[in-house]
Amino acid sequence: MSRSERLLALLQVLRRHRRPVTAQTLADEMAVSVRTLYRAVASLKSQGAEIEGEPGVGYILRPGFVLPPLMFHSAELDALMLGLRWVADRGDPALASGAREAATRIAAVLPAARRRHLETSALLVAAAAKPAVEAVGLDELRASIRAGCKMRLAYRNKNDADSERVVWPFALVYFEEARVLAAWCESRAAFRNFRADRIARIELLDDVIPASQVALLQEWRRQLQASGRAILPESDSAPF
């Protein structure tokens, strides 16, 4: 590992830890000696990284520091470009545009050699059937999730039965053939999945969701794991 790669790796390890972490733990994660770790910390500090702590106590990186120029390993660049290409091809217009713009911005701040690696990545996205068309824009659903407020939606299930629900939206799941809104449904008092192409309309309410969206997502995942069931696009009424 080169010196620049070691510094980048140390930054990434420090960012994963939100509390002070000992030099020995950091050294073990990076597979280097403690002495090498101390030198890397000193080097980052000299370049402006706000690393607080000292030997024998532990270190923590204050947020906001980016090591210029922006650096990524080859596998990280491949992962970025593959993901961006997938979103550009499979996402709704707003996300597709965002993916293309993100690729341009990332390439603009990379060193020349890394930029060529990004732009010539041989990992491609295969053609696939386009998902069903949604009556409600996915950008509206994403904005509703970010707002953290309750939502009233008009929905038609797989049996063509119409209903109106007040839900607490917390995630949007992207399948190849459909997009699914995950939410807590007040009328069912349980988690529910709603295919986006079956949502006729939505209304964002003024009521703030009385629970953390992170907590909702964690509990949803916990129940999903406990039940041993996968999230299926057609199971819009199945509890988790």
Distance from the first to the final alpha carbon of the chain:
45
Q: Which residues contact 149 (CB under 8 A, 6 or more apart)?
A: 204, 205, 206, 207, 208, 209
Residues 36, 11 share a domain? yes
Domain that holds residue 191: 138-227
Q: What is the structure's pLDDT at 105?
A: 85
Domain membership of residue 124 (yes or no) is no
Residues 48, 19 share a domain? yes
Q: What is the structure's pLDDT at 231?
A: 57
Residues 145, 96 share a domain? no
Domain membership of residue 154 (yes or no) is yes
pLDDT band at 236 (very low <50, low <70, confident <90, very high): very low
Residues 200, 167 share a domain? yes
Domain membership of residue 8 (yes or no) is yes
Provide the CA 109 distance to its chain's centre, in angstroms: 22
Distances from the Cα of 135 to the Cαs of 11, 95, 161, in angstroms? Answer: 44, 17, 17
Number of compact structural domains in the chain: 3
- Higher-confidence residue of 97 and 56: namely 97
Residues 83, 27 share a domain? no
Q: What is the structure's pLDDT at 196?
A: 92
Q: What is the structure's pLDDT at 25?
A: 92
* CA-CA-CA-CA dihedral for 81, 83, 88, 94, to nearest 10: -120
Q: Which of 91-95, 176-180, 183-187, 222-226 has the highest mean pLDDT?
A: 183-187
Residues 39, 7 share a domain? yes
Residues 103, 46 share a domain? no
Q: What is the structure's pLDDT at 195?
A: 93
How far apart CA 128 and CA 121 sit, in angstroms, is 20
Residue 175's domain is classified under what CATH number? 2.30.30.520
The string of pLDDT tens digits covering residues 99-108 is 999 998 888 8
Residues 168, 90 share a domain? no
The string of pLDDT tens digits covering residues 158-209 is 888 999 999 999 999 988 888 999 999 999 999 999 999 999 999 999 999 9
